Amino acid sequence: MAGNEDIRDGIASMGFEDALKELEQIVRSLESGDAKLDDAITSYERGAALKKHCEAKLTEAKSRIERISFGKDGAKTEPANIE
């Protein structure tokens, strides 16, 4: 079985779309039931790490979104209230 470093290898540098695509592939593979137990466990662990990475990327994107409002003083930006 792979160590935690092997499972998380390369995830930190992945963009959201690439991480999500790999996560979807892992889910399909696990759902097929064709993998050996050790391979399935390793895939599940990598999938959990990918899920966490995707959630972090979404949180980061959410915090970067700004709402533009216009007032008497002109345009200003403020954090969006997205929930």
Q: What is the pLDDT of residues 1-40, one digit of tens each?
A: 456 677 888 999 999 999 999 999 999 999 999 999 999 9
- Total domains present in the chain: 1
Q: What is the 3-state secondary structure (H, E, C) of the chain?
A: CCCHHHHCCCCCCCCHHHHHHHHHHHHHHHHHCCCCHHHHHHHHHHHHHHHHHHHHHHHHHHHHCEEEEEECCEEEEEECCCC
Residue range of the domain that includes 13: 4-79
Give residue 12's pLDDT: 94
Segment 33-79, tens digit of pLDDT: 999 999 999 999 999 999 999 999 998 888 777 666 666 676 666 66
